[in-house]
């Protein structure tokens, strides 16, 4: 009997250790791996944007599931915050960055450009979603240019209340007249019982050509370079 109890105790200790290792892997190691992978994806996308400015004909608008096609920057989350946006919201796709809800509007388009992201694990790109305030900017850069949105409101809903990503958020029957962006993430932290939802509205756009022109301007206080005569 004592031996049986001892064996059971050892098994429970082993099981507890395995559970602890899984928690560490899920909460911390996936962040490390995903952060590195997402940073590489952002670097690759930014190079694609540069290449497109030099050769507009090289850009493609076709996207399939899992394709990274945009870089999202949210200054409220830090001056160095930038995450890749991939097509789709499956578990595999959200492990690669933020995910675009297939079938919703695209960047800068009239309708609801809806994005999902993890609040914990896999790089937790929306860890600070609850810190967003009205007026905060969400900047989305693609090969075509840049779309800037301003946060308008937030709400908390149950997972099945998908009308928040309808073309007109909250009203499936309405016809959209504005370009909106919606962020969704699990709520509260470490739980999937609810969804934290942020709605933002498009305030301005820049084409790839306009971005290139600004980037080519001399820095303030410096004289423009001149060609030798």
> One of 118, 154, 187, 199 is an active-site residue; which one?
118
Q: Provide the 3-class DSSP secondary structure of residue 35.
A: helix
- Whether the CB-CB separation of 99 and 72 falls below 8 Å is answered with no
Based on the residue annotation, tell me whether 187 is a catalytic residue of this protein: no
Question: Which pairs from 77-82 meet CB under 8 Å and 24+ separation?
Answer: 77/128, 77/131, 82/42
Nearest of 217, 111, 84 to residue 171 by alpha carbon: 111
- Catalytic annotation present for 154: no
pLDDT tens, per residue, the chain with 229 residues = 655 555 555 555 555 444 444 444 455 657 788 889 999 999 999 999 988 877 766 555 567 778 999 999 999 999 999 999 999 999 999 999 999 999 999 999 999 999 999 999 899 999 999 999 999 999 999 999 999 999 999 999 999 999 999 999 999 999 999 999 999 999 999 899 999 999 999 999 999 989 877 665 565 565 554 444 3
Quote the percentage of the chain above a pLDDT of 70: 76
What average pLDDT does the structure give for the chain? 86
The string of pLDDT tens digits covering residues 128-162 is 999 999 999 999 999 999 999 999 999 999 999 99
Interior/surface letters 195-224, b for 16+ CB within 10 angstroms, e for the rest: bbbbbbebeeebebeeebeeeeeeeeeeee
Taking only Cα atoms into account, the Rg of the chain, rounded to an integer number of angstroms, comes to 22
Given the residues 100, 154, 186, 187, select the one marked as catalytic: 186
Q: What is the pLDDT at residue 32?
A: 81
What DSSP character marks residue 56?
G
Q: How far is CA 11 from CA 20, 187, 219, in A?
A: 14, 34, 66
pTM listed for this prediction: 0.81
pLDDT at position 213 is 78
């Amino acid at each position: 009997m004592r031996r049986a109890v001892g064996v059971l105790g050892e098994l429970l200790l082993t099981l507890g250790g395995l559970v602890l290792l899984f928690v560490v892997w899920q909460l911390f190691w996936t962040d490390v791996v995903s952060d590195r992978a997402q940073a590489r994806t952002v670097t690759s996308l930014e190079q694609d944007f540069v290449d497109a400015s030099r050769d507009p004909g090289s850009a493609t608008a076709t996207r399939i599931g899992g394709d990274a096609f945009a870089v999202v920057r949210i200054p409220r989350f830090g001056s160095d915050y930038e995450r890749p946006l991939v097509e789709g919201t499956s578990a595999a796709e959200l492990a690669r960055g933020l995910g675009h809800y297939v079938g919703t509007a695209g960047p800068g388009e009239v309708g609801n450009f809806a994005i999902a992201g993890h609040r914990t694990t896999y790089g937790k790109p929306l860890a600070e979603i609850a810190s967003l305030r009205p007026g905060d900017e969400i900047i989305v850069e693609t090969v075509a240019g840049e779309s800037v949105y301003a946060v308008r409101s937030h709400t908390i809903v149950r997972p099945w209340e998908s009308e928040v990503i309808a073309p007109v958020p909250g009203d499936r029957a309405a016809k959209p007249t504005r370009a909106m962006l919606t962020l969704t993430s699990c709520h509260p932290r470490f739980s999937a019982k609810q969804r934290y939802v942020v709605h933002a509205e498009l305030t301005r756009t820049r084409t790839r050509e306009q971005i290139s022109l600004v980037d080519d301007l001399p820095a303030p206080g410096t004289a423009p370079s001149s060609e030798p005569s």
